[in-house]
Structure 1
Amino acid sequence: MHKQIINTTNAPAPIGPYNQSVKAAGLLFISGQIPINPADGLLVSGDIKAETHQSMQNIAAILAEAKLSFDHVVKTTIFLSDMALFTDVNEVYGSYFKGDYPARETVAVKGLPKGVNVEISMIASIEI
């Protein structure tokens, strides 16, 4: 199997032994994105809608680097610090799609990197 690593300076640099995304077998696997502003490296915090927008903007930058868009996304996983945030996150997340939404699960977890409230990962199909 051949794989291609796709990273961009328009999304936060990985903080461990992983890449922003990997293209393989006709799919783009995007690592979980948290609300870090790549311009200054600072966390966006205090407003779950702003945090979600930043996470989605980071994903948009990775998709763009791979010459893809949210139309190519087939699967999403959303991790939340608290399910009480679901409605606001869902509202922002949904605004990035034009319909034909991807498959998705949303789960609450005990903790997320850097203490953030939301982390989002996606899988996109290169062949749509």
Structure 2
Amino acid sequence: MKILQGSRIPKANGHYSTAIVSNHLLFVSGQLPISKEGKDYENAEFEEQFNVVFHNLEDILLASSTNFQKVVKVTTYLSDVQYWKQFNALFADFIGKHKPVRTVIIVPELPQGYKLEVEIIAEV
């Protein structure tokens, strides 16, 4: 098992690792709309929050020598069902034709009013 760290990996904000590689799989903790430089997007519109989260995920994948085409599972938490259609469209545009296994869970709220949190598992 290898805990990933480095300039492309957003720092964890608690007692957990952002990303771990184990048995040729990359496990990425839920990413909130906070840039790897620490800029917080809690008041941003949904699309901007989505872009911050997915660019963080992309950086983590690239730091692990993999990409979205190797993502096996995506788990997404949305703070409101109203974001469902927008999430689907943005997700399809961002990752292209690849269709990983995916779960979307609507939750009553996320920390600090964030609109989404996304975790992934990918092959490396």
Fold match, TM over 0.5?
yes
Query: Corresponding residue for 2:76?
Result: 78
Equivalent residues in 2 for 1:91-106, closer than 5 Å: 91-106=89-104
Q: Contact 1:80–1:117 (CA<8 Å) still a contact in 2?
A: yes
Query: Corresponding residue for 1:49?
Result: 47
Distance in structure 2 (CA, Å) of the matches to 1:100 and 1:14: 28
Structure 2: 5+ residue runs without aligned partners? none
User: Residue 17 of structure 2: SS of its match in structure 1?
Assistant: coil
Distance in structure 2 (CA, Å) of the matches to 1:114 and 1:12: 18
Q: Alpha-carbon deviation of 1:81? A: 0.3
Query: Corresponding residue for 1:63?
Result: 61
Q: Contact 1:11–1:37 (CA<8 Å) still a contact in 2?
A: no
Q: Alpha-carbon deviation of 1:35? A: 0.7
Q: Which amino acid aligns with 1:125?
A: E
Distance in structure 2 (CA, Å) of the matches to 1:11 and 1:95: 23
**Pick aligned residue for 2:34 from 36, 39, 45:** 36
* Count of matched residue positions in the alignment of Structure 1 and Structure 2: 124
Distance in structure 1 (CA, Å) of the matches to 2:42 and 2:10: 12
Deviation string, structure 1 residues 57-85 (Cα, Å, up to 9, x no partner): 01001111101110110100010000111
Q: Contact 2:9–2:63 (CA<8 Å) still a contact in 1?
A: no
Distance in structure 2 (CA, Å) of the matches to 1:22 and 1:101: 23
- Which stretch shifts more, 71-80 or 10-19? 10-19
Using structure 1 for the length normalisation, give the TM-score: 0.89
Q: Alpha-carbon deviation of 1:41? A: 2.4
